Amino acid sequence: MDAVTPPVTVTRHGGGQGKVGVIAIDFAPVNALSKAVRQGLLDAVRTLEADPDVAALVISGGPGRFIAGADIREMSQPPDAPFLPDVVAAVDACAKPVVAAIAGAALGGGCEIALACDLRLGGPKALVGLTETRLGLIPGAGGTQRLPCLVGVAQAIALICEGRVLKAGDALALGLLDEVVEGDLLATAIARAPGMPKRRLSALPVPARDAAAEEAAAARARKAAKGVPAIDEAIRVIRAAGEGDFASGLALERAAFLALRESAEAKALRHLFFAEREAGKVPGLEGVAPRPVEAVAVIGAGTMGAGIAMALADAGLAVTLIERDAEAAAAGFQRVSDLYARQVKSGRLTDAQGAERRARVTATADWGRLSAVDLVVEAAFEDMAVKADIFRRLDAVAKPGAVLATNTSYLDLDAIAAATSRPQDVVGLHFFAPANVMKLLEVVRPARSAPDVIATALALAKRMGKQPVVAGNCDGFIGNRIYALYRRHAEVLVEDGTSPQEVDAALEAYGFAMGLFAVSDMSGLDIAYAMRKRRAATRDPAERYVAIADRLVEQGRLGRKTGAGWYAYDAAGAKTCDPVVEAVIAEARAEKGITPRAFSAGQIQRRLLAVMANEGAKALAEGIALRASDIDLAFVHGYGFPRTKGGPMWAADQMGLRAVLTEVEAAHAAGGAGSEPAPLLVALARDGHSFADWQPTQLGGQQP
pLDDT tens across 24-33, in order?
999 999 999 9
pLDDT band at 690, cuts 50/70/90? very high
> Helix, strand, or coil here: 641?
coil
- Residue 168: CB atoms within 10 A of its CB come to 20
Asked if residue 374 belongs to a domain, the reply is yes
Beta strand residue intervals within 545-631, DSSP E? 568-569, 575-576
Cα dihedral 363/366/368/371 (nearest 10): 20
Q: Under 8 Å CB-to-CB from 120, ≥6 apart: which residues? A: 99, 100, 102, 114, 128, 176, 177, 178
pLDDT tier for residue 3 given thresholds of 50, 70 and 90: low
Q: Is the dihedral of CA 282, 288, 293, 296 positive or negative?
A: negative
Q: What is the mean pLDDT of residues 159-187?
A: 96
| Catalytic annotation present for 663 | no
Q: How many CA atoms lie within 13 A of 617 on its CB side?
A: 31
Instruction: Pick the catalytic residue from 70, 103, 613, 685.
Output: 70
Residue 114 lies in a domain: yes
- CATH number for the domain spanning 320: value is 3.40.50.720
Cβ(696)–Cβ(626) under 8 Å? yes
Summarize pLDDT for 630-657 with one digit per residue, the tens. Answer: 999 999 999 999 999 999 999 999 999 9
| φ, ψ for residue 299, nearest 5 deg | -95, 115
| The pLDDT value given to residue 477 | 96
Does 688 qualify as catalytic in the annotation?
A: no
* Spatial separation of the C-alpha atoms in residues 141 and 164, rounded to whole Å: 18
Q: Choosing from 24, 68, 112, 472, which is the catalytic residue?
A: 112
| Pair (36, 167) in one structural domain | yes
Average pLDDT, the chain: 94
Q: What is the CATH number of the domain that holds 516?
A: 1.10.1040.50
Q: Say if residue 596 is in the same domain as residue 611.
A: yes
Q: Is 109 a catalytic residue?
A: yes
Same domain, 427 and 458: yes
pLDDT band at 704 (very low <50, low <70, confident <90, very high): very low
Q: Is residue 276 a contact partner of residue 633, using CB atoms and an 8 Å limit? A: yes
Is 226 inside any structural domain?
A: yes
Q: Is the pLDDT of residue 7 over 70?
A: yes
pLDDT value at 2 more than 60: no
The more confidently predicted of residues 52 and 535 is 52
Q: Is residue 282 in some structural domain?
A: no
The pLDDT of 602-618, averaged and rounded, is 98
Range scoring the smallest mean pLDDT among 223-232, 324-333, 384-393, 449-458? 223-232
Phi, psi of 457 (to 5 degrees): -60, -40
Give pLDDT tens digits for 353-364: 999 999 999 999
Picking from 37-46, 82-91, 529-538, 668-677, which range would have the lowest pLDDT averaged per residue? 529-538
Separation CA 690–CA 696 (nearest Å): 14
Does 696 have pLDDT greater than 70?
no
pTM, rounded to two decimals: 0.91
**Which listed residue (40, 104, 108, 109) is catalytic?**
109
In the predicted model, is pLDDT for residue 703 greater than 60? no
Annotation says 112 is catalytic: yes
How much of the chain, in percent, has pLDDT values that exceed 90?
90
Q: Is the pLDDT of residue 270 over 50?
A: yes
Distance CA 704, CA 699 (A): 15
Mean pLDDT over 236-262 rounds to 94
Q: Does residue 660 carry a pLDDT above 80? A: yes
With CA atoms as reference, report the closest residue to 437 among 303, 560, 345, 528: 303
> Which of 262, 286, 308 is a domain's end point?
262
The separation between CA 235 and the C-alpha centre of its own chain, rounded to angstroms, equals 24
- Residue range(s) defining the domain that contains residue 577: 480-693
Domain count, the chain: 3
Q: Are residues 257 and 362 in the same domain?
A: no
Whether the pLDDT of residue 701 is over 50: the answer is no
pLDDT at 493 over 90: yes
Cα dist. 586→65, 160, 567, 578, 594 in Å? 64, 50, 15, 13, 9
Is residue 495 one of the residues assigned to a domain?
A: yes
Residue 451: asked if its preceding bond is cis (omega within 30°), the reply is no
Q: Which residues have C-beta within 8 Å of that of residue 566, sequence separation ≥ 6?
A: 500, 517, 518, 520, 521, 525, 549, 552, 559, 581
Residue 28 and residue 144 in one domain: yes
